[in-house]
Amino acid sequence: MDAQSGSTTTLDALARAAVRIFRPLVRIMLRHNVSYKTCAEWLRWCYADVAYNEFALPGRKQSKSRVAVLTGLTRIDVNQLLSQPPPDSIPQQEQYHRAGLVLTGWANDPEFSAGGKPMKELPFEAEKDTPSFGKLVSRHSGGTPARAVLDELERNGAVRVLPDRRVELIRTRYIGKAEAADINYAEIFGMSCGDLIETIGYNWTPEFDDKRLQLLVYNRSIHPDLVGPAKQKVETAARDLAEQVDNWLYEFETQSMALPDAADARPTRLGLGLYYFQ
């Protein structure tokens, strides 16, 4: 049963926390053309994996039936998910975005091909028996209006609208090749958010007595004219501390390599995360 504080349950509090976490997460996913269904598949795998590996009853081997009970997934889902490789270990391709489905249809549907290759151009609208972009969308987008799909594909750079309203295919993949900066930011995003939530989860576990450092300092009453100077001062202090911590960790790394069992010991990753928010 949920612990109560007044009329608020733990589930209520977690709902508020989840929405605060999900909003910036969804903003990033949408900005990079990741659909709800793709993100949900990753989450489903994590539910099954964590429940199976971390939530067994004491002294008993974990079962897939218990994983189903804990997660709300069906036993068939659990079997399927646990037999799959982790999503972060295999190449990913967006499968569920409606605009992406239209591109897949354009690439593979024989009616929109010529000589075994997708037609380079399609009229936006045409007679009933003539291939058109509208007909392509109607067949492959699950009922989404053609104009909305065209706007998204044009924004994504997958198509170009010509002056005569013909739609030119630029590429058949909805998500293009990643820029180096995108890959770098994605790595930082996963590491920073994952480490912070991992620390909070660890500190929230009653049986762990050696709590980890978790600090949050903020003020709600800064005048707008002073935001710039306050930001600069906070960031300067944070950079100075980060540089000092980095030097300390390098010293510990050097000492670690000099220990007699250094070659056999399993190294531990540890550190300190700092970020400015506004």
- For the segment 147-180, what is each residue's pLDDT rounded down to a tens digit? 999 999 999 899 999 999 999 999 988 876 677 8
CB-CB contact of 112 with 122 (8 Å): yes
Residue 217 token pair: 């300092």
Please determine, looking at this structure, whether the domain spanning 98-169 carries the CATH number 1.10.10: yes
The per-residue b/e assignment along 110-119, b for 16 or more CB within 10 angstroms, e otherwise, is: eebeeeeebb
Q: pTM for the complete prediction?
A: 0.80
The confidence score (pLDDT) of residue 1 equals 45
Q: Please report, to the nearest 10 degrees, the dihedral formed by the alpha carbons of residues 164, 165, 170, 176 taken in order.
A: 150
* pLDDT tens for the chain, residues 1 to 278: 445 556 889 999 999 999 999 999 999 999 998 999 999 999 999 999 999 999 999 999 999 999 999 999 999 999 999 999 999 999 887 788 899 999 999 999 999 998 889 999 999 999 888 999 999 999 999 899 999 999 999 998 999 999 999 999 999 888 766 778 888 999 999 999 999 999 999 999 988 889 999 999 999 999 999 999 999 999 999 999 999 999 999 999 999 999 999 999 999 999 999 999 99
CB-CB contact of 106 with 169 (8 Å): yes
Distance CA 111, CA 128 (A): 13
Letter for the amino acid at 119?
M
Residue 146 token pair: 């053609």
Residue that the structure tokens 């646990």 belong to: 82
Give the number of other CB atoms < 10 A from CB of residue 89. Answer: 7
